[in-house]
Amino acid sequence: MVETTRLHSDAFLSNSDKHRGTHFPSITSDDVCLETGIDVGDGTHIVYKPGIRHSSYTYSISQRYPDEWFGGRFVLYPLLSKLYGISPRFRKSSPRRNGICVYLNSRAVLYYKCQTLGLSRGERSWVASIPPFVKTRGRNSILRFLEGYQ
């Protein structure tokens, strides 16, 4: 069971997020450490025209197809649904990359990841580091982070 937190929730939630029942996990959860590892390894945070009526906030995770389809469907989908209360979507990436993307369109999730967890916006760097909140939780959390990163 994931504990939820109300940290900054009113500031993060858009009307769409409120309607869908978006919630935030506790940063003391091992599932958050696992998902953060996946995010640091394969994630992207995209903010397009923030604050404008037709702005877009997307958190996506790129996977290879068909190799990682199973993990996306049976690991990522339930994990993201459990942590944030939103069902992620799947789409094929460009034919050149032969991949799939698991993504969430949510201002709340993107701001939670950037402001509460301290992750950066945009594509991930080739040089990755373990976020401070994972290190302070101890060895098991670091192992969960590394499991997600791999």
Residue 127: how many other CB atoms lie within 10 Å:
5
Position 82 scores a pLDDT of 93
Q: pTM value?
A: 0.80
Q: Please give the C-alpha separations between residue 28 and each of 36, 51, 105, in angstroms, as whole numbers.
A: 12, 30, 24
Q: What are residue 4's DSSP bridge partners?
A: 25
pLDDT single digits (tens) 80-93: 999 999 889 888 77
CATH class of 12-122: alpha beta
The CA distance from 93 to 28, in Å, is 33
The CA distance from 33 to 31, in Å, is 5
pLDDT single digits (tens) 122-141: 776 677 788 888 999 889 99
Q: Pick the residue with more confidence: 147 or 52?
A: 147
